[in-house]
Structure 1
Amino acid sequence: MTPSKKGMARVRFIALKDVITKELEQGYNRTDIFQKHHNALLMSYSQFTRHIQKFITQHPWRHPTKLQPTPTPAAVPRSLVEEQPSPKRHPFTARPVHFDPDPDPEKIKRWLRPAQKN
């Protein structure tokens, strides 16, 4: 593969775009199409697949749509900002804490002894 001006591989791909699209629609896989047109394209296979994604399949996630601006909290009425509990989660309930300032000496011995090996 000889080096060429930047962007010329893209120009060569776009020139063959209709032929490549027809071959994809006929069921040829990308590697066979790449091998067939390799001498005309003069690019790597990975770049060839990126060009297919960009110029032929055009996934909607590749082209961001216009995003609506998110309103600032000051602009939104307080009634709309109130948090609603999620129906998937149970509401939080605190468990009682049982703190014993003088724990049982047998429990302390069990906590401090070396771990048992299986």
Structure 2
Amino acid sequence: MSPEALEKAALALPGATLSIQWGDDRVYKVGGKMFAATDGAGRSLSFKATDIAFEALTESGRAIPAPYLARAKWVKFDDVSALDDAEVADWLKTAHSLVAGKLTRAARKELGLA
């Protein structure tokens, strides 16, 4: 997946925003909470995963536990360009829904997620 396609897929999700943080990292958020991030060049991708996906992706060696966020079940891929577009879009959608699901009912309603 190209960095441009990744950005387009992430920002197509309801209420998703982009923030540049920690230098030039691109952080995708919903309701002010992170659900995915890339380095400035868009080469690596980190995102929140389900417990099962975290185990499957890290145990198979496809991804590594994301530095600083592994305890929250985040995974990291070092080369986004080697990943399938549909698979990445699905992971982003899941990450978005996991994070959005933890927002307050009022916040979800404000974002059009209720």
Q: TM-score, normalised by structure 1?
A: 0.22
Which structure's CA Rg is the greater one? Answer: 1
Of Structure 1 and Structure 2, the greater helix share is in 1
